[in-house]
Amino acid sequence: MAQVAEQAQKYVGGGILRKEDPELLNGAARFIDDMSIPGMLWVSFVRSPFAHATINSVDTSRAASMPGVKGVYSGTDLADEWADGLPCAWPVTEDIKAPKHWPIAKDKARFAGDAVAVVVAETRAQAVDAAETVDVDYEPLDVVVDMEAALQDGATKVHDEFENNSSYVWNLDVGEVDQVFNDAAVVVKERYYHPRLIPNAIEPRGVICQPNPAQGEYTLYSATQIPHILKVTLALTLGLPEQKLRVVAPEVGGGFGSKLNVYAEEATCLALGRKLGVPLKWIETRSEGYLATTHGRDVIQDMEVAADENGKIVGFRANLLADMGAYLQLVTPGIPILGAFLYHGVYDCQAYSFTCTGVFTNKTPTDAYRGAGRPEATYAVERIMDALARRVRKDPVELRRLNFLEPFDEAREVITGLSFDSGNYGAALDKALDMFGYDELRAEQQRRRDAGDDKLLGIGVSTYIEMCGLAPSQVLASLRYVAGGWEAATIRCHPTGKVTVITGTSPHGQGHVTAWSQIVADELGVDFEDIEVLHGDTAISPLGMDSYGSRSLSVGGVALHYAAEKVITKARTIAAHELEVSEEDLEYSSGTFSVKGAPDKSKTIPEVAFSAWTAHNLPEGTEPGLEETHVFDPPNFTFPSGTHLCAIEVDTETGMTNILKYVAVDDCGTAINPIIIEGQVHGGIAQGIAEAMYEEAVYDENGVLMTSSMSNYRVPSAAELPTFETDRVETPSTTNPLGVKGIGEAGTIASPPAVVNATIDALLPLGIDHIDMPVSPERVWAAIRNASGSSVDARGTDATAAGSGVGSADTPGGEA
């Protein structure tokens, strides 16, 4: 219905201030820890200090006699509570090894932090105190921490029931890969270690279970991104009738993928609520979360590019080892697969190969973290592009231009078989170069090199693409994901002219309430303030697939658009009947139907809503009420893209690095709210810079997390981050009628290679062409010392120092 798209847009595209803000600004918002229920008990978990140990026995007697304690349970005590283990919804291959994952470990602890017992007490402090007195007899076992060691013959097994620590091997080959690589004039190969990251949403996780024993019903409140998925999966894990379970996500303080899971603590609180019949609450401490909340990344990538002598690319080949950690959480094995199709970036090629081996280790399970698979792909592609540029002696920008896919505004198939929705990569690049002052910075770089300046300048380019709008359900089926990728929206037009919108997305900072109101206000011509958006409660929004993978707008927002079309279609029937004309004689614009040629004869949507409610004079066969639901299953993914440029100054005396300039030009398709987009880009870049320069979860050889609290894992503050200059280009997506692509993850996907490429570019005169993330001052300094042939003291080589990383493949990036 083109009529909707054509009407005057009052709100869409405007920088409308957020409706969500007032209660977040005055302290009235209710996060999980702000809620309490009369008679509520507190839950605390006992966690294994060993990364791998047999649990010989759990003595709960002392804890049970502590003040206020109402129950202490080991994994064996709760064994009968589970109809199944915690779910892994993405068994990526037919022969994947997916272990049973009991919420409370029974026989063995497989990572430091694995829950082995749980305590219920009257107060938070009593529960914590009692948990400390549970006496667990552990027999420590050998530990596997490093992925390559884990894959060696005879390595200690994380799961005895499998023959080794390989969970799966997933492969996609297109074209004559070996031949193309054999025949190519130039092949560049590098190895990159992508560090393990701790998500650090500032709100820790938490759960409240409220049973209603009389009805056999349960309400589970959780600081989650996925209330709908939780309802289905927890019903299965607990053998609970799904219709008896309601899941509510209250105000949620950020997620970044870490709240996109079905956690042991959620299942256990629900099981204890069922067992004890009383309300229970658990709030994670930050240090506990470092062990028990999923981590991100932790991938070793062998990346290759083949090209002719001018740098025209013919093939890409990527071989990954991806650390699963000790168990497969909700989508652990699928994370690398979200990047599997993007190892050619925005560049044309004839041959493509991607292989990923999922590896079990005795570490916290990994899973989605902002970008999920796509940062890894983008990092490998954009790093190897710079390496190729050096090899063929071309400017990195020029090399990229040479290989860009031509601009296209109709979907086009690419090498992997995917169809990119639309793209104009040169447009974003041009704009970014202009904002950045590329030529001047290159000249300045040369000046400093010529002068032998201590402070070298480096320029990093990242012309990224990502894939979001998860996802066409049939494609998910072909990738062996067990659920669909649709999203639902309902619009309820009240007789008083007000509107309720019910969405299946579950925002936790993204501003859906505002953006959804903008869409509906324009399409139905109702006042922005008259629209209420409800979300995050399975009793209110029964249909939903929740928020992750930058899907909310491009799937949920589009569902809303279609629901609005259905409302308009029904309202047109009623308006035509009341105005005694045929439907074709009505024009629709901004919420008003008017008779062609007689514009004074008209009906607005609120007027029709009232008529639909009184039902006094409805056309034959029309049901009373004006409320419509649409469930949208996207026909394709969306593919945001853009250019990020970074200028870094490196002090060669100290290794200190300083971002002098950061420019981002993103193409997220049509903009609904530029202010929200900019905010998402800022936050995304900040997380990507953190990944590139500051953060790394480091384990020692015993599988003990060394970066075990917020005080020794470097989440950057405002003082460590630069100001970003951002802008956009718009090539509307062809996947959906709104033309939107998604922007939640783009900054995190694009920025790490921009930063690392810039750092390496600065150090090239010293003969350094590889450093792994995070490019901390220690690492840069060590690389400079190594390159100059000086010895490096323990500070630079100690594998356990933050920024070095066990499992890191910190070898110079030689090429084949």
Partner 1 sequence: MRRISLTVNGVQHEGMVEPRQLLVYFLREQLGLTGTNVGCDTSTCGACTILVNGNAAKSCTLLAVQADGAEITTIEGLASNGEMHPLQKAFHENHGLQCGYCTPGMIMASLDLIANNDDLNDEDVRIGLEGNLCRCTGYQNIVKSVQQAAGEMRSPAST
Site residues (CB under 6 A) for ligand FES?
Answer: 202, 253-254, 509
CB 102, CB 85: distance < 8 Å:
yes
User: Smaller CB distance to ligand FES: residue 509 or 669?
Assistant: 509
Q: Is 639 helix (H, G, I), strand (E, B) or coil?
A: coil
User: Residue 253 phi/psi, 5° resolution?
Assistant: -90, 65
666 is an interface residue for partner 1 by CB under 8 A: no
User: Smaller CB distance to partner 1: residue 166 or 687?
Assistant: 687
Q: Which residue in the set 554, 724, 754, 780 belongs to the binding site for partner 1 (CB under 8 A)? A: 724
Q: Which of 491, 488, 562 is nearest to 526 (CA)?
A: 491
User: Smaller CB distance to partner 1: residue 22 or 213?
Assistant: 22
Q: CA–CA separation, 158 vs 142, rounded Å?
A: 9
204 binds, among ligand FES, partner 1, none (CB under 5 to 8 A by kind): partner 1
Question: Shortest Cβ distance from residue 109 to ligand FES (Å)?
Answer: 28
Instruction: Centre a 10 Å sphere on the Cβ of residue 285 and count the other Cβ atoms it contains.
Output: 12
476 is an interface residue for partner 1 by CB under 8 A: no
Q: Which residue in the set 251, 523, 628, 667 belongs to the binding site for partner 1 (CB under 8 A)? A: 251
CB 803, CB 774: distance < 8 Å:
yes
Q: CA–CA separation, 704 vs 213, rounded Å?
A: 41
- For residue 275, CA distances in Å to 44, 63, 80, 158, 386 come to 16, 19, 11, 31, 59
User: Smaller CB distance to partner 1: residue 664 or 768?
Assistant: 664
How many residues belong to the site for partner 1 (CB under 8 A)? 55
User: Smaller CB distance to ligand FES: residue 291 or 456?
Assistant: 291
User: Smaller CB distance to ligand FES: residue 166 or 680?
Assistant: 680
717 binds, among partner 1, ligand FES, none (CB under 5 to 8 A by kind): partner 1
- For residue 589, CA distances in Å to 10, 605, 611, 665 come to 12, 10, 19, 34
User: Smaller CB distance to ligand FES: residue 509 or 684?
Assistant: 509
Pick the stretch among 23-31, 238-246, 261-269, 443-451 that binds partner 1 (CB under 8 A).
23-31
Q: What share of the chain is helix, strand, coil (3-state, %, to 5)?
A: 30, 25, 45
User: Smaller CB distance to partner 1: residue 710 or 787?
Assistant: 710
Strands 627-632 and 419-420: unpaired
Q: Is it true that the peptide bond before 49 is cis, omega within 30 degrees of 0?
A: no
504 exposure class (CB count in 10 Å sphere: 0-12, 13-18, 19+): buried
**How would DSSP label each residue in 158-216?**
SSTTSSSSEEEEEEEEES-HHHHHHH-SEEEEEEEEEEEE----SSPPEEEEEEETTTT
User: Smaller CB distance to ligand FES: residue 507 or 509?
Assistant: 509
Pick the stretch among 172-180, 323-331, 505-513, 780-788 that binds partner 1 (CB under 8 A).
505-513
Q: Is 231 helix (H, G, I), strand (E, B) or coil?
A: helix
User: Smaller CB distance to partner 1: residue 687 or 735?
Assistant: 687
Residues contacting 692, CB < 8 A, separation 6+: 751, 752, 755, 756, 773, 774, 775
Q: Which residue in the set 91, 336, 375, 511 belongs to the binding site for partner 1 (CB under 8 A)? A: 511
User: Smaller CB distance to partner 1: residue 39 or 417?
Assistant: 39
34 is an interface residue for partner 1 by CB under 8 A: yes
Question: Shortest Cβ distance from residue 286 to ligand FES (Å)?
Answer: 7
Q: CA–CA separation, 484 vs 489, rounded Å?
A: 16
Instruction: Centre a 10 Å sphere on the Cβ of residue 338 and count the other Cβ atoms it contains.
Output: 25
27 is an interface residue for partner 1 by CB under 8 A: yes
719 binds, among ligand FES, partner 1, none (CB under 5 to 8 A by kind): partner 1
Pick the stretch among 68-76, 135-143, 283-291, 311-319 that binds partner 1 (CB under 8 A).
283-291
254 is an interface residue for partner 1 by CB under 8 A: yes
Task: Give me the residue label for tokens 């609520």.
Answer: 273
Strands 53-59 and 135-140: antiparallel
- For residue 651, CA distances in Å to 296, 673, 801 come to 30, 40, 21
25 is an interface residue for partner 1 by CB under 8 A: yes
Q: Which of 68, 48, 57, 78 is nearest to 130 (CA)?
A: 68
Tokens of 518: 């903008």
**How would DSSP label each residue in 434-485?**
HHHTHHHHHHHHHHHHHHT-SEEEEEEEEEEE--BS---HHHHHHTT-SS--
215 binds, among ligand FES, partner 1, none (CB under 5 to 8 A by kind): none
User: Smaller CB distance to partner 1: residue 329 or 687?
Assistant: 687
Q: Which of 59, 44, 45 is nearest to 136 (CA)?
A: 59
229 is an interface residue for partner 1 by CB under 8 A: no
Tokens of 109: 């602890």
User: Residue 439 phi/psi, 5° resolution?
Assistant: -65, -40
What binding mask, one character per residue, do residues 182-221 give for partner 1 by CB under 8 A, x or -?
A: ------------------xxxxx-----------------
User: Residue 807 phi/psi, 5° resolution?
Assistant: 90, -5
Question: Shortest Cβ distance from residue 203 to ligand FES (Å)?
Answer: 8
Binders of partner 1 among residues 79 to 138 (CB under 8 A) are 125
287 is an interface residue for partner 1 by CB under 8 A: yes
252 is an interface residue for partner 1 by CB under 8 A: yes
286 is an interface residue for partner 1 by CB under 8 A: yes
253 is an interface residue for partner 1 by CB under 8 A: yes
What binding mask, one character per residue, do residues 667-706 give for partner 1 by CB under 8 A, x or -?
A: --------xx-xx--xxxxxx-------------------
Question: Shortest Cβ distance from residue 371 to partner 1 (Å)?
Answer: 14
Question: Shortest Cβ distance from residue 507 to ligand FES (Å)?
Answer: 12
Residues contacting 330, CB < 8 A, separation 6+: 87, 88, 89, 90, 229, 233, 260, 261, 262, 367
703 binds, among partner 1, ligand FES, none (CB under 5 to 8 A by kind): none
Question: Shortest Cβ distance from residue 552 to partner 1 (Å)?
Answer: 13
Q: CA–CA separation, 75 vs 10, rounded Å?
A: 57
User: Smaller CB distance to ligand FES: residue 617 or 711?
Assistant: 711
Pick the stretch among 279-287, 310-318, 433-441, 592-600 that binds partner 1 (CB under 8 A).
279-287
Residues contacting 249, CB < 8 A, separation 6+: 221, 222, 223, 224, 225, 226, 227, 506, 508, 535, 536, 537
285 is an interface residue for partner 1 by CB under 8 A: yes
User: Smaller CB distance to partner 1: residue 709 or 811?
Assistant: 709
User: Smaller CB distance to partner 1: residue 75 or 289?
Assistant: 289
717 is an interface residue for partner 1 by CB under 8 A: yes
**How would DSSP label each residue in 516-571?**
HHHHHHHHHT--GGGEEEE-SBTTT--S---S-TT-IIIIIIHHHHHHHHHHHHHH
678 binds, among partner 1, ligand FES, none (CB under 5 to 8 A by kind): partner 1
Q: CA–CA separation, 717 vs 215, rounded Å?
A: 48
682 binds, among partner 1, ligand FES, none (CB under 5 to 8 A by kind): partner 1
Residues contacting 519, CB < 8 A, separation 6+: 11, 12, 557, 560, 561, 564, 672, 738
Question: Shortest Cβ distance from residue 312 to ligand FES (Å)?
Answer: 44
Q: Which residue in the set 50, 193, 218, 256 belongs to the binding site for partner 1 (CB under 8 A)? A: 256
* Type and span of the H or E element at 708: none
Question: Shortest Cβ distance from residue 714 to ligand FES (Å)?
Answer: 15
27 binds, among partner 1, ligand FES, none (CB under 5 to 8 A by kind): partner 1
Binding site for partner 1 (CB under 8 A): 17-18, 20-22, 24-31, 33-34, 36, 125, 200-204, 251-254, 256, 285-287, 508-511, 675-676, 678-679, 682-687, 709-711, 715, 717-719, 721, 723-724, 747
